[in-house]
Structure 1
């Protein structure tokens, strides 16, 4: 017995031309671009070029995700360390409240000009209560040694030093009294010529004076 094989195709065959294939690819790319622009970018990235995403509520989906993310940014409670070459501890700022902000001492401003003879010293003090605050600025036309310190009443020769530096012609800052007493500066002219010193203060303190 012999079996004859029929190799005739079961159905018609089609040949796709390169032009047709190119048009199909271009159409698919165009559709994908439209979908990406109108729907995917507004929902996933919040990029809404046409404005349709906002109308369809797609951009709200993105913002909702952002709102749900907890804010873990640390809150700074300490001022940056000084940038000078000397090793200084970081400045700690205490929490502020009505008790630390409100002042009972009347606000005032003072200005004083004095002349320091060669190799002489001069002291200027402010009478302050605990928590009183003053801002100061001084200028001199020659270098001076400055010693900023405070003294408690009836405490003998004891004092608390805050800042000492040589060869200064100007300085400024703000100061809060850590205790009741007299707080201020001692300047010494170590040169051979007169030095004129001008100091300006403003804040909450009883008076600015030159001790006798």
Structure 2
């Protein structure tokens, strides 16, 4: 057997060296925060490095799409809220029975109806729209959408039955997109598009997979 020997005191870093290393690490982290994280995530570029690297535009896209999606969700909630106070009593029993049937009888996401759909929406300059699929957790749907006549900003996201929210993908000035979406939870999963060009743009969406409904929600 070999006995490991304790290092000599001279081999250990001094307190001064440890402080110096800590300061260098903190300075490096600050540089990364200012030059990479802030521009790419929030569009904040105090040094100008983010613009050179193309990170600032990425952050501006994320910030803009998040603000637009939040504004439209709030508007949708404001439109729905008067109905809640108009004296109409929601059919909670029916909704509960539907959910019990889906969870206990239909079981997993694979029990959902396999279907195919095609929808199209024309957006004037500045207009937005949103199309959602009703999906169970783990269900999958393939999709392809095209912006005929121009490009659009988009946010592929979801709103859960239990209040969950998530964003799958975002983009700016995009002419087309395709792929497969897997539901992170039970709820509405789909796309928000906004036309920021000066001409009309028609969104053509084709979907195929395990979802029970497809609906234009705005």
TM-score norm. by structure 2 comes to 0.49
Question: Rg bigger for which structure?
Answer: 1
TM-score norm. by structure 1 comes to 0.50
